[in-house]
Amino acid sequence: MIKVDYNNLNLLEKRLLDGTRESIQHNPKISITDLSKCFDVSTSKISKFVKKLGFDSFKEYKSFIVGKESESRTSQVSDELQRINDYINHFDEQLAYDFWIKIKDCNKLVIYGLGPSYICADYFAYRLRTFSDVFSLATNDLTVVKNADNSDTKLLVLSTTGLFKPLKDDLNDLNYKEIIFLFEEFRHFPDLQRNTLFYLTKSTGDNSLKPYEKSRTLFFIFLEEIIQKFKISNNNKHSD
């Protein structure tokens, strides 16, 4: 699972994120050695940088930038039960913790989703109101998203593919404390990289299905794990 948290990168890492993306898009065959010379850093520094983002290697990071599917994905598309089993067996606890901290650290949270993703948003908002002090509102109405824009509020966008509806123009010039994107599938969105991006898998999924036809099961699993962290935190407070 991948996390790109632009706000938590240091100045050099931000420079590498912006610069390597541009260089790789211009020359998809560029090597890590050539990039290290371009940015006057060691190859090990670039390797550590891409691993901090959650990639296994520079090659995987480069494939992500140019829009190629991760080579770690098997050629045969698994059925839903196998897909869920694979996800659970490789569940990234650190990613879940980082996401929980992002949600925990806000007074108000607007959760935006379209189609089936809105159902996930509504479920998560309900569970948050039950087990946390975070004021949460789920919506599939862009007008509500824009009217709720406030510097003490965070916006969470749920999207399986990020392809159902362009997000850049809709969410441009908003003044939220932070905009967090939670994607299930693994795609590069250069226009969104200055926000916080979480990816649940390293797969582009079944491309024969339209975005609204795809399962949201992994969203429910991941978001329920976030609720469990709130429950554990609440129990620890009560035991003190």
Number of domains in the chain: 2
61 within a domain of the structure (yes/no): yes
pLDDT exceeds cutoff 70 at 155 = yes
Question: Are both 146 and 187 inside the same structural domain?
Answer: yes
Q: What is the CATH number of the domain that holds 60?
A: 1.10.10
**Same domain membership, residue 89 and residue 62:** no
* Average pLDDT for the chain: 87
The structure's pTM equals 0.72
Neighbouring residues of 84: CB distance < 8 A, sequence distance ≥ 6: 217, 218, 221
Asked whether residue 43 is assigned to any structural domain, the reply reads yes
The answer to the question of residue 75 being in a domain is no
Query: Could you report the per-residue pLDDT of 184-231, keeping only the tens digit for each?
Result: 988 888 888 888 999 998 877 777 888 888 889 999 999 999 999 999
- How far is residue 21's CA from residue 26's CA, in Å, rounded to a whole number? 9
In a domain, 107, yes or no: yes
Residue 2 located in a structural domain = no
The tens digit of pLDDT for each residue in 72-98 reads: 444 444 578 888 888 999 999 999 999
Q: Which residues span the domain enclosing 16?
A: 8-66
Beta bridge partners of 136: 109
Instruction: Assess whether 120 and 32 both reside in one domain.
Output: no
